[in-house]
A and B are shown apart, each in its own frame.
Chain A
């Protein structure tokens, strides 16, 4: 029986945040610090013939203006394909692409000076529509990779024959818009020159080792001279996975060339204009089913608008591809997916990572299939749901930890599905129409076959003389509760009091590379690496204790803070004192490699991931048919996560993800015309506010996964993924029209109702 796992200890990191004492990057300053501001391309595609900085340099407070030719190392940002430059050189390929770095003694001068750098552009034709980019003879958008930045296919069985014998076939095209992360703390870094000739880079980030590598590229100096320090990070959601490498390299180059600390913190406008976002998607999908509701075929096409550079698009696309048919056993499955280059801001990681787009499509279409079959949509899902012994879309046979049917049933009951679905009185007292909708999803946790090479984690654990425990991992706290959860895992495995466990602040020179903090993997991967280290240290302690107590080590039992053997009992602190007396080293390195996955990239079949989190969502809405307004009344969000390590933080992830998903579904419309994002602020880009929030009921299912710490699987992303289709299905239930484009704004709903022509 675990003592700490499954409880809800308080978050130690929250204390300083509540006090306002936590230091975020913009709260730090260094002696002699200068400020950087970027000069950015105003055109979606243009030739750069000349950069004249003389007017900017005339300002006495301006320190330097840096262009591509000044970069000491490579002009490349390493991510997947290394196609993106740090600063545009001959051509700019999207609005907002960095062209020059202005460094000044104060922030305001840097802002003004950036407007005084005169860049001679000659505009070139731009392609901002992915379908035009795919057209034959289209101008090449990405000079390195061409217009199809990445393509994935899965081909299982014989889709065409299965479709031809299917009793019922449904198909549809679904479109989704951009989504901006809208973390409350904007992107920011400070680069500080170090005495040894290297650079220390402080910043808001998810993946310090990505930045570490990028700094090595652009500065051309050994990684051993560079260190990256994560500051308290004010939200990320994927937006601080790949993107921070760009501002980090800008600040580092500026610091390296001027020998001064350089701060670069983006304004909200700049952040919305230039940082990565969720890819707009187009999904064409078709299901064939037998009369009894068995889905026998799924055929899909998936297109992502990737923007000018490839960033993480190949992997985002891959995740979407292998999940595109939904959490169902389908014998015949085919998907063709492309990430397409356009002259617009590069898109990247965002909670869900290519899945929310396909989930909106497949889960909307499942409901259409139910209508055509005359079946209850939840029954239809249960009939086809993945289960132990069944294989996923890519032929991965599930051997353990599959709570999909359970989570579907629990959410169905919690949302009072049968009762609400068959309500006779649909018009509420305020004149709005009531509807209830359902959706389901699965999510391969971790990097899986697509990111196998970096799916490992390191940890270092040491115990101090007073019995307190220090842990170093390279995965990061960005608000999600990482440090609390990992401290709990360490305490449980080591037998220490959770209050005595501390996580070392992230500095790449002091913590092991635990891989990126993405793909809902940190609890699983770093959790297992920490357990590995904790077990080793526990053994060292127990050996000493057994010897001193004169008992066999096998007789020792432990609970947080105490070790006992029969009636003999000592505290963890006493045991630690004994260990110091015995001169043993109370420290260990832990390591964990994700289980191997077998993958055939030819046909796209194999174990895409090693384990999956399963999700079911129920949503109740009230729709105003006159104004098109949708009020979400209640969301029931259920997830099989193996084990809830910290229940309160699990609920926090579920509720926060539901609200982001609700924003994606209804409000968040980033308007872009010809590659230009319009109104880049929070009065143009509308995210949910306190007054819009429905009751959100978490449902937690725990089907343990042997490979995860105490049975846990990943949870960070699943809470967002299936919200939009549940709301779309509820809107259909309420007013009988299907909205096939996100966000489902009042205007779009009225258009579909044909109230507005």
Chain B
């Protein structure tokens, strides 16, 4: 349960607070955090919230070579921003519901590093990198690196989507039981070229390993090739993922779903008209 709220106004101050107070957490929109720090259902013991609302992390900058999105931009703001890549828009629209999107931030969604984020694979498929502020330094790493070496002590400042997405084909997929259920498995793909010759594909999934990930081996196999049949893609994906069984689905089910979602997405992407 939070007993204390600190609202730093600079990044430096925020990082300093986080590193000097033992049971502290960064608080952005709060949709991930506020429901789990409650007494009696508490899985996390955090006394101090470092509330990021006053930090200058709320801008979206669309430039020729890149798009920079501040960590505190809400998911709903992304939904409503027509200058963003259509692939990202499709993924954020599929995320949760309006009430949650109003508070939830892109930084919080990434920082939560949860298997149920359907936004994460879309960002991977957009080649996104991430700006972080740690104890002593700032750094820019790929989102893939961030997810696989997740460090919740680092403050997410922004993400950067390089240009190039305009020329790529893409598709996103998400499996849930009802429309508002959290995602069990999600997938996103993008590539240049055509159905006859796929170039530089990115294939990302979430829900099948503890965090969102790219299927590099499949990407390598497809690069320069024509689009394989659904069955052939299914088989390849199943070789690459080994999800854990849990209450929402068995390993076999999730493996099957990830294969279906990836092959569906690749086939949809191949037939999508590149619009920009």
Contacts and interface: CB of A to CB of B under 8 A. Distances in A.
Contacts of A689: 178-181
A217 B40 CA distance: 32
B110 to A, nearest CB: 20
Interface in B39-72: 39-41
Nearest to B175: A627
B257 interface: yes
Contacts of B260: 626-627
Contact of A746 (B39, B175, B261, B264): B175
A269 B41 contact: yes
B247 interface: yes
B256 A755 contact: yes
B253 A112 contact: no
Contacts of A627: 175, 257, 260-261
25 contacts: A108-B39, A112-B39, A626-B264, A627-B260, A627-B261, A629-B175, A667-B178, A679-B247, A683-B182, A684-B247, A686-B178, A688-B178, A689-B178, A689-B179, A689-B180, A690-B179, A690-B180, A691-B179, A692-B178, A745-B177, A746-B175, A746-B177, A746-B253, A755-B256, A756-B256
Nearest to B97: A689
Contacts of A683: 181-182
A747 interface: yes
A687 B177 CA distance: 9
B9 interface: no
A688 B152 CA distance: 34
A671 B247 CA distance: 7
B178 A757 contact: no
A658 B178 CA distance: 16
B151 interface: no
Interface string A628-641: 01000000000000
Contacts of A692: 178-179
Nearest to B179: A691
B177 A756 contact: no
Interface string A102-118: 00000010011011000
Contacts of B264: 626
5 smallest beta-carbon distances between A and B, as pairs: A691-B179, A689-B180, A747-B253, A626-B260, A671-B247
Contacts of A691: 178-180
A255 interface: no
A587 B40 CA distance: 53
A746 to B, nearest CB: 7
Contacts of B40: 111-112, 114-115, 267
A750 B178 contact: no
Given A683-B181, A690-B180, A746-B253, 17 more contacts: A111-B39, A112-B40, A267-B40, A269-B41, A627-B257, A627-B260, A667-B178, A667-B181, A678-B247, A679-B247, A689-B179, A691-B178, A691-B180, A750-B253, A750-B256, A756-B256, A757-B252
B34 interface: no
A95 to B, nearest CB: 16
Contacts of B182: 683
Contact of B253 (A267, A629, A667, A756): A756
Contacts of B181: 667, 683, 686, 689
Interface string B242-255: 00000101101100
A262 B264 CA distance: 57
Contacts of B177: 666-667, 686, 745-746
Nearest to A269: B41
Interface residues of A, number: 31
Contacts of B179: 689-692
Contacts of B178: 667, 686-689, 691-692
Interface string A711-749: 000000000000000000000000000000000011100
Interface string B235-276: 000000000000101101100110011001000000000000
Contacts, number: 57
Interface string B109-145: 0000000000000000000000000000000000000
Q: Mostly helix, strand, loop or mixed at chain B's interface? A: loop
Interface string A607-632: 00000000000000000001101000
Nearest to A630: B177
Interface string B137-180: 00000000000000000000000000000000000000101111
A626 B237 CA distance: 15
Residue of B178, B181, B252, B256 with most partner-chain A CB within 10 A: B178
Interface in A628-679: 629, 666-667, 671, 678-679
Contacts of A746: 175, 177, 253
A596 B264 CA distance: 62
Interface in A332-376: none
Contacts of A688: 178
A747 B175 contact: no
A30 to B, nearest CB: 24
A40 to B, nearest CB: 11
Nearest to A111: B40
A112 B42 CA distance: 11
A757 B251 CA distance: 10
A493 B253 CA distance: 60
Nearest to B256: A756
B223 to A, nearest CB: 25
A757 B250 CA distance: 10
Nearest to B251: A756
A274 to B, nearest CB: 14
Nearest to B176: A686
Contacts of A667: 177-178, 181
B82 to A, nearest CB: 23
Contacts of B257: 627
Contacts of A747: 249-250, 253
A108 B257 CA distance: 42
A344 B177 CA distance: 26
Interface string B1-45: 000000000000000000000000000000000000001110000
A114 B178 CA distance: 35
B164 to A, nearest CB: 31
Contacts of B256: 750, 755-756
Interface in A249-270: 267, 269
A66 to B, nearest CB: 19
Contacts of A108: 39
A483 B253 CA distance: 48
A745 B247 CA distance: 13
A671 B179 CA distance: 20
Contact of A756 (B41, B175, B180, B252): B252
Nearest to B185: A627
Nearest to B41: A269
Nearest to B182: A683
Nearest to B255: A756
Interface in A544-558: none
Nearest to A669: B177
A627 B181 CA distance: 16
Residue of B40, B175, B249, B264 with most partner-chain A CB within 10 A: B40
B248 to A, nearest CB: 8
A691 B256 CA distance: 25
Contacts of A112: 39-40
Nearest to A662: B178
Contacts of A756: 250, 252-253, 256
Contacts of A267: 40
A274 B260 CA distance: 38
A247 B250 CA distance: 37
Nearest to B263: A626
Nearest to B40: A111
A666 B178 CA distance: 9
B112 to A, nearest CB: 14
Interface in A674-704: 678-679, 683-684, 686-692
Nearest to A747: B253
Contacts of A629: 175
B27 to A, nearest CB: 20
A747 B256 CA distance: 10
